[in-house]
């Protein structure tokens, strides 16, 4: 709630916004380095998988859709997203065509050494 304002004084910015932005950027950097496995991938060296399926809807493109799943997994201290199913839906608006992307997947911890040795 504190981060929803449009303008901040200098003190409030350095006290509330700057630390939150730093955490966000660090999580985004970890998310970009996460391993991503689609549902069709076989032989994933899985250590642990979350019981809760994550889902993302109404994204602009495939890359953003997968990055959102990875961001949520990085927030929960996982190092991979497994079982990803990505769906693209074409939307037509008065002669203009665009796409809506959605995806589901599980935040997971995998054996990184098992992947790098292959």
pLDDT tens-digit map of 65-105: 999 999 999 999 999 999 999 999 999 988 899 999 999 99
Q: Residue 9, CB half-sphere, CA atoms under 13 Å: how many?
A: 2
pLDDT band at 118 (very low <50, low <70, confident <90, very high): low
pLDDT at residue 114 is higher than 60: yes
Q: What is the pTM of this model?
A: 0.84
Among 50, 112, 35, residue whose Cα is nearest residue 81: 35
């Amino acid at each position: 709630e504190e981060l929803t304002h449009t303008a901040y004084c200098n003190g409030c910015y350095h006290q509330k916004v700057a630390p939150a932005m730093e955490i966000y950027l660090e999580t985004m950097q970890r998310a970009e380095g996460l391993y991503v496995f689609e549902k069709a991938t076989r032989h994933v060296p899985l250590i642990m998988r979350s019981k809760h399926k994550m889902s993302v809807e109404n994204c602009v493109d495939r890359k953003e859709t997968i990055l959102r799943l990875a961001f949520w997994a990085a927030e929960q201290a996982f190092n991979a997203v497994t079982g990803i199913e990505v769906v693209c839906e074409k939307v037509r608006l008065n002669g203009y065509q665009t796409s809506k992307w959605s995806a589901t997947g599980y935040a997971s911890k995998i054996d990184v050494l098992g992947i790098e040795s292959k």
